[in-house]
Amino acid sequence: MGQNKRETGASQEERAARWLEAKGFRIMERNFHCRQGEIDLVAMEGRYLVFIEVKYRKDVQAGYPAEAVGSSKQRKISRAAAYYCQKNRIPESQACRFDVVSILGEQVELIRDAFGYAW
């Protein structure tokens, strides 16, 4: 029997976290939830605090993974990121960015600075 969507998502987020760590990212938090939304991974890369959305597709039948991060999803991630910074007393001077890890089958791709703050 196959994995359900939540199990698949969790295993792909774990895969993305390991892949990012191998690239020098330091994972700070996984699955940050708040009323405003959810952030799959929060990491540091160099001087950047990075909010990362992980999208997985087995194949392109349902479209490319990164295409699933539309404007409403970007707004939710932005609001959740603002709350994360407030809750963790991150100074406004902290450089932040939003990345997407796109996983298509076995292929993993990082889209740095995939979108800006979308209030």
pLDDT truncated to tens, each residue of the chain (119 aa)? 456 877 887 899 999 999 999 999 999 999 999 999 999 999 999 999 999 999 999 998 988 999 999 999 999 999 999 999 999 999 999 999 999 999 999 999 999 999 987 65
- Separation of alpha carbons 16 and 27, rounded Å: 10
Burial code of 12-22, b = ≥16 C-beta within 10 A, e = fewer?
Answer: bbeebbebbee
What span, in angstroms and rounded, lies between the C-alpha atoms of 76 and 38? 7
- Residue corresponding to tokens 């909010």: 51
CA distances in angstroms from 25 to 16, 61, 76, listed in the order given: 11, 31, 23
Provide the pLDDT for residue 75: 94
Closest CA to 101 of 114, 115, 117: 114
End-to-end CA, the chain: 41
